[in-house]
Structure 1
């Protein structure tokens, strides 16, 4: 059932939604007694104990939703200072170890570069030596080929001249033979 605004207002004050003089179900028209309404309000208070017991020195941390509470006793017996020293020592050792590792890596890289340079120089020297020997061998082959060519040319020239001399002598012989053959032929006629 939908209530009207005045009914809601009456209910919010703890009264019935129909006033007694209107004739609600409990209404007695001729009743002269007074009605009374008692309102009880309960309040709950939550007490959160955030006390710290730091016996003999120490530190405590507590949290409640987004709020953090802490307590550090001034008699921590050097625990915080010791923890800070431990942290600083750990950081320093990590830093020193990292520097040593980087230094070792640098030395290894430099040694690799030096080894490669040395190997390149050795290989380049061997290669140049090999090229020099190859050039000397090529020159020797060229000199031998030149000498063989000169000898062959001289031999061919000598053979040609001998053949020419023989052929000149043979020409006279052939001519002489022809003359004799012609004389013999004439005599038989």
Structure 2
């Protein structure tokens, strides 16, 4: 059906080509008459053939989306067995290398522990000798301090005693001098009064 320019404009803005107020097939929506709707559903099934033909000594890989399919001919001329032997040999070699590396690491660790233990023993022994010598020196200093203190105490006591003896002796001399002076004075006074 050929559309008029007015209808094309209406369709361009999303409206029906024939307005409802004019009539047309859309006007039947407001009609109270019954209508029948037939729905037809079509189902399409895609079948993908993933068959692979592999001749003797060959291999094939086929994929679809995230699925991979492979096929290997049973007459591979020993390629798979060779690959398996190579993988097995590689794993055995890697295992032997890892065992050797772990053994070497263990030996290194043990030697380090032994060396540190010996060094710690030497350092501890030297430290104990140093502490022992420090204690001996401290005891000698303390004994010297005691001796000096005792000698000083004795010297101070002797000096005090000597000073006390001297002052006591001088007291007697002063007293003796005063007595003699008193006698002389009394004698002189008697001579003047007589």
Q: Quickly name the TM-score band, shorter chain normalised.
A: 0.5 to 0.7
| 1:50 equivalenced with 2:54 (yes/no) | no
In the alignment, is the contact (CA less than 8 A) between 1:58 and 1:79 conserved in 2?
no
Q: 1:47 to 1:120 in 2, by over 3 A?
A: closer
CA–CA distance in 2 between the matches of 1:154 and 1:95?
Answer: 87
Q: CA deviation at 1:132?
A: 0.4
Q: CA RMSD in A?
A: 3.1
Length-normalised TM-score, structure 2: 0.63
Offset, 1:120: 1.6
Number of the residue aligned with 2:107: 107
In structure 1, how many angstroms separate the alpha carbons of the residues matched to 2:176 and 2:48? 160
Is this contact kept in 1: 2:59–2:70, CA < 8 A? yes
- Structure 2 unmatched ranges of 5 or more: 1-24, 27-34, 41-45, 190-194
Do the aligned partners of 2:59 and 2:73 also contact (CA within 8 Å) in 1? yes
Question: How has the CA–CA distance of structure 1 residues 128 and 172 changed in structure 2, closer, same or farther, with 3 Å as cutoff?
Answer: same
Q: Does 1:135 align with 2:142?
A: no
Q: Give the Cα separation in 2 of the matches to 1:86 and 1:178.
A: 134
Per-residue CA deviations over 1:155-189 (Å, capped at 9, x if unaligned) read 22322332233223212101111112222333454
- Is the partner of 1:123 in helix, strand or coil? helix
- TM-score after normalising by structure 1: 0.65
Greater alpha carbon shift after TM alignment, 78-87 vs 152-161:
152-161
CA contact (8 A) 1:58 1:72 kept: yes
SS in 2 for 1:140: helix
Task: Provide closer, same or farther for how the CA distance between residues 49 and 158 of structure 1 changes in structure 2, counting only shifts above 3 A.
Answer: closer
CA distance in structure 1 between the aligned counterparts of 2:50 and 2:152, rounded to whole angstroms: 124
1:25 corresponds to which residue?
none
Q: Is 74-83 or 98-107 further displaced after alignment? A: 98-107
